[in-house]
């Protein structure tokens, strides 16, 4: 079905977007592995064969959603990982600043990209094999980017690359878990509770960071 006044290419892009949005919503119940193209087609009112004009399979659709979802996660981490390098700040002040900035970014992005953040957390564990592997690969890339940023901060400048990678892994996983929880928050009070727990968790990790010595 076409919409009057809309070009063929615009209509095709709208249908493609509708397929992605429908799949993202339907996958909330049973995950992408349990989703069929017939369900997606029925949800947006197209015949199943029309699905193939946009995606060759559910796996290909899932890989597109992985890319979209990591765009959302990277936006969150980009805001969180602008790490200050103030020569006058104490190590503790720097750690608190990193934690506070991270949690502020978490709360903001979890509300804006809730379904994408839940998609990453869910499909990492239960997605189709190709999608699981794509999520793992993207998480590794995100962790490498964060480790590179951390290497330029004074309190980790003498760390080994292996230790920086471990710290980046801890931070990214902590952020993803809390982001997924925040995306499901049903009230302001629950959001505050989750954010406070996440802040305390990051403080604990960063207190350990202040005392870590890669040479030992």
Q: What is the tens place of the pLDDT at every residue in 32-82? A: 999 999 999 999 999 999 999 999 999 999 999 999 988 887 877 776 656
Q: How many residues make up the chain in this entry?
A: 216
State how far Cα 84 lies from the chain centre.
Answer: 23
Predicted confidence (pLDDT) per residue in 155-178, tens digit = 777 889 999 999 889 888 887 888
Residue 3 lies in a domain: yes
d(CA 50, CA 48): 5
Report d(CA 127, CA 33) in Å as an integer. Answer: 5
Q: What is the CATH number of the domain that holds 103?
A: 1.10.357.10
For residue 32, what pLDDT is reported?
93
Q: Are residues 155 and 120 in the same domain?
A: yes
Inside any domain, residue 216: no
- Quote the pLDDT of residue 147: 87
Q: 148, 17, 131, 4: which is closest to 78 by C-alpha?
A: 148
Average pLDDT score over the chain: 84
For the cut 90, the answer to whether the pLDDT of residue 17 exceeds it is yes
Check whether residue 6 and residue 76 sit in a common domain. no
Q: Does position 91 have pLDDT exceeding 70, yes or no?
A: no
Rounded to the nearest 10 degrees, how much is the dihedral formed by the CA atoms of 115, 118, 122, 124? 100
Residues 143 and 49 in one domain: no
Q: State the pLDDT at residue 137.
A: 95
Query: How far apart are the C-alpha atoms of 127 and 109, rounded to whole Å?
Result: 23
Q: Is residue 179 part of a domain?
A: yes
Residues 7 and 105 in one domain: no
Torsion sign, CA atoms 179, 82, 84, 154: positive
- Residue 185: partners with Cβ closer than 8 Å, 6 or more residues away: 110, 191, 194
Q: Supply the pTM of this predicted model.
A: 0.80
Number of domains forming the structure of the chain? 2
Residues 35 and 64 occupy one common structural domain: no
Phi, psi of 14 (to 5 degrees): -65, -45
At 159, give phi and psi (nearest 5°).
-75, 155
* Side-chain half-sphere CA neighbours of 71 within 13 A: 7
**In percent, how much of the chain has pLDDT > 90?**
33
Same domain membership, residue 126 and residue 71 = yes
CB 31 within 8 A of CB 126: yes
Average pLDDT over residues 107-119: 80
- Shared domain for 31 and 133, answered yes or no, is no
Q: CA-to-CA distance for 62 and 185, rounded, in angstroms?
A: 25
> If 0-12 CB within 10 Å is exposed, 13-18 middle and 19+ buried, where does residue 82 land?
exposed
Does the residue 215 lie in any domain? no
Domain assignment of residue 68, given as a range: 58-210
Structure tokens that stand for 92 in this block: 């503790």
DSSP-assigned letters across all residues of 91-122: HHHHHHHHHHHHHHHHHHHHHHSHHHHHHHHH
104 and 200 share a domain?
A: yes
């Amino acid at each position: 079905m076409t919409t009057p006044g809309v070009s063929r290419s615009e209509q095709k892009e709208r249908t493609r977007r509708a397929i992605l949005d429908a799949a993202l919503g339907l996958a909330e119940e049973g995950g992408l592995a349990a989703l069929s193209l017939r369900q997606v087609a029925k949800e947006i009112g197209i015949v199943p064969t029309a699905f193939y004009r946009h995606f060759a399979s559910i796996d290909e659709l899932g890989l597109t959603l992985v890319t979209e979802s990591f765009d959302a996660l990277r936006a969150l981490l980009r805001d969180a990982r602008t790490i200050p390098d103030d020569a006058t700040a104490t190590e503790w002040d720097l750690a608190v600043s990193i934690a506070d900035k991270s949690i502020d970014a978490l709360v903001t992005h979890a509300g804006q990209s809730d379904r994408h953040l839940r998609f990453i957390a869910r499909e990492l564990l239960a997605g189709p094999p190709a999608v699981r592997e794509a999520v793992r690969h993207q998480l590794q890339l995100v962790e490498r980017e964060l480790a590179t940023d951390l290497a330029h901060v004074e309190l980790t400048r003498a760390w080994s690359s292996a230790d920086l990678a471990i710290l980046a892994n801890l931070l990214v996983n902590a952020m993803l878990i809390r982001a997924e929880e925040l995306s499901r928050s049903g009230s302001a009070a629950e959001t505050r509770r989750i954010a406070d727990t996440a802040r305390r968790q990051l403080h604990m990790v960063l207190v350990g960071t202040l005392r870590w010595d890669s040479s030992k």
